[in-house]
Chain A
Amino acid sequence: ILNVEQSPQSLHVQEGDSTNFTCSFPSSNFYALHWYRWETAKSPEALFVMTLNGDEKKKGRISATLNTKEGYSYLYIKGSQPEDSATYLCASDNYGQNFVFGPGTRLSVLP
């Protein structure tokens, strides 16, 4: 079983602060890395699919980078808003079929 880790486990920031968190995964046999946002009482929502070393993707104020050689990805949120409060999950994609999820980073943005 692949071991996917995320840090920190939880995070509290003030509205307007920028923040980032980390996903680490085994770099051998890498196929793809997925980021999800999971808001309370909703279903996890796909944010990014990342495949190439050095990939950088952006969606509004959220962006992500990927380093497949060292096995990590960063998720950045610029100017956090209360609606960004959620659990952010990353998942290592094992040859395009099974995902192995990290435990998530719970972000709380305080107004």
Chain B
Amino acid sequence: DVKVTQSSRYLVKRTGEKVFLECVQDMDHENMFWYRQDPGLGLRLIYFSYDVKMKEKGDIPEGYSVSREKKERFSLILESASTNQTSMYLCASSLGSQGGNQPQHFGDGTRLSIL
């Protein structure tokens, strides 16, 4: 089974702090994604990556950056945390596009609170 591991289930940080959310997958997937989930809005894509050192903006990238130095690890960075970034963050991975119609596999999520 694919395992996607997020470093923390719960995290509390203060406004202005730099926050790192880490995600590791163990199935050699090319694609990795970061989403946030807010009530009534569903999962919204923040950033994604199709390969090492490659990144693309999703629908709501403002206030975030990402890093993919190794294939198995995709980090989400909140450069200067703000209260409107309080949310549930989900990481996912999938085979590359040549895999065709592949489902995304999710981590358990990190519930981040910014005070």
Q: Are A96 and B97 in contact (CB under 8 A)?
A: yes
Residues of the B chain whose Cβ atoms lie less than 8 Å from the Cβ of A91: 43, 104
Within 8 Å by CB of A102, from B42, B97, B105, lies B42
Contact with A along B66-109 (1 / 0, CB 8 A): 00000000000000000000000010000001011111111111
Q: Are B106 and A43 in contact (CB under 8 A)?
A: yes
Known: A43-B107, A43-B108, A96-B101. A101 touches B42 (CB 8 A): yes
Q: Are B42 and A104 in contact (CB under 8 A)?
A: yes
Question: How far apart are the CA atoms of A68 and B47 in the complex, in Å?
Answer: 28
Question: How far apart are the CA atoms of A2 and B32 in the complex, in Å?
Answer: 20
Residue A97 at the chain B interface, CB threshold 8 Å:
yes
Within 8 Å by CB of A93, from B35, B101, B107, lies B101
Residues of the A chain whose Cβ atoms lie less than 8 Å from the Cβ of B40: 9, 103
State which size class the interface on A falls in.
20 to 34
State which size class the interface on B falls in.
20 to 34
Residue B48 at the chain A interface, CB threshold 8 Å:
yes
Residues of the B chain whose Cβ atoms lie less than 8 Å from the Cβ of A51: 101
Closest to B40 in A: A103
Q: Are B41 and A103 in contact (CB under 8 A)?
A: yes
Residue B58 at the chain A interface, CB threshold 8 Å:
yes
Contact with B along A92-111 (1 / 0, CB 8 A): 01011111111110000000
Q: Are B102 and A96 in contact (CB under 8 A)?
A: yes
Q: Are A49 and B106 in contact (CB under 8 A)?
A: no
* B interface list, Cβ under 8 A from A: 4, 31, 33, 35, 40-45, 48, 50, 58-59, 90, 97, 99-109
Closest 7 CB pairs of A and B: A46-B103, A103-B42, A101-B43, A43-B106, A101-B42, A32-B101, A44-B106
* A interface list, Cβ under 8 A from B: 1, 4, 9, 31-32, 34, 36, 41-44, 46, 49, 51, 89, 91, 93, 95-104
